[in-house]
Chain A
Amino acid sequence: MINDLFFMNGYGLYVWSAFAFTLLSFISLFIVTKIQYTKEKNKFIVKFGTLNSERASFAKSQSINKEILSNTSII
């Protein structure tokens, strides 16, 4: 049973490599997108921290800024 699943009548190498490539592409795209998100978010937090209290309270009055600051991680 396991051998059948692994070798698939001699087509195992083709089938498994196609599925492995797909999975690898998905994982790579997910990681790259996640890194980009984290980078932008950290940049936002650093910039927000450098604002003086008047500007910070003005920026915080925008709901989207509050959302960005409140969500520590999307996943």
Chain B
Amino acid sequence: MFKYFEPNKIFSITSKAPKYVLFLFIVIFSIGLTEALILSPEDYKQSHSVRIMYVHVPAAWISLGIFSSITFLSVVGYIFKIRNFFLISKSLAPSGLVFNIVALVTGSIWGKPTWGTWWAWDARITSMLILALFFVMYLVAWRIYENNDNDKVYKITSIITLVGIINIPIIKYSVEWWNTLHQPASINILSKSAIHTSMLIPLLIMTAAFALFSLLIFLMKYNTELIKIKNKGLDRL
């Protein structure tokens, strides 16, 4: 099964896909922005500041999803010695970090009119900051060890993700375990969401747009990594 993940087979697809993904991203992002900034209603309590949710929440969701995927791929890659899984993980990390920073900064901007402060050492916000540090550690580990020893970089990055994944349930349940400034989740997959459809639809459109953007960056980064490997191959010829 893993032969389908061979870089040679994947490159012919990944090299052509970005332009289509970019086009789709622009279309969906434009619809999402129109919905989020113009068509969606203001909140009865938070007024127009609720619109920040349409960038803050998708960014947070996607950064959590990316870190979980990186951990899964690193662990499976390490157990089954699949080098390509590490390449995929490495290519996902930059967009994960950027989404995490977007979630922190937009959350901070939203906090000022809502809570009266830019920052609070609240459980949810602090655990998101810790996640950003794990993303940084992961990327720095690649930068330091990449050219020295492949086994070492695989091992170190897998350990970083394994330790970091402990933080994911903490982020998710922090609003329930502790008294936090941050509000509890409004959207539940298993039960009825506490958010009206007129706000849920733009939120889902923006999430789709953000997911497409992370796919676009992933594809570009993955192609770069493959060419980097081929460059090393030419050196050995």
Contacts and interface: CB of A to CB of B under 8 A. Distances in A.
Interface string A26-61: 100110011011001101100110010001001100
Nearest to B33: A19
Main secondary structure of the interface of A (DSSP, over half): helix
Interface residues of B, number: 50
Contact of A71 (B15, B38, B42): B15
Contacts of A17: 109
Contacts of B28: none
Interface of B: 7-8, 11-12, 15-16, 18-19, 22, 33, 36-38, 42, 47-49, 51-52, 55-56, 59, 94-95, 98, 101-102, 105-106, 109-110, 112-113, 213, 216-217, 219-221, 223-224, 226-228, 230-231, 233-235, 237
B134 to A, nearest CB: 18
Contacts of A37: 220-221, 223-224, 227
A44 B224 CA distance: 11
Given A55-B237, A63-B8, A44 B94 contact: no
Interface residues of A, number: 39
Nearest to B8: A64
Main secondary structure of the interface of B (DSSP, over half): helix
Interface of A: 5, 8-9, 11-12, 14-15, 17-19, 21-22, 25-26, 29-30, 33-34, 36-37, 40-41, 43-44, 47-48, 51, 55, 58-59, 62-65, 67-68, 71, 74-75
A57 B49 CA distance: 61
Contacts of B48: 8-9, 11-12, 15
Contact of B37 (A5, A21, A48, A58): A5
For the complex of A and B, 3 pairs with smallest distance between CB atoms: A8-B48, A11-B48, A18-B106
A54 B124 CA distance: 60
Contact of A74 (B33, B223, B234): B223
A74 B220 contact: yes
A19 B235 CA distance: 45
A37 B94 CA distance: 14
Contact of B19 (A40, A55, A75): A75
A30 B8 contact: no
A75 B38 CA distance: 30
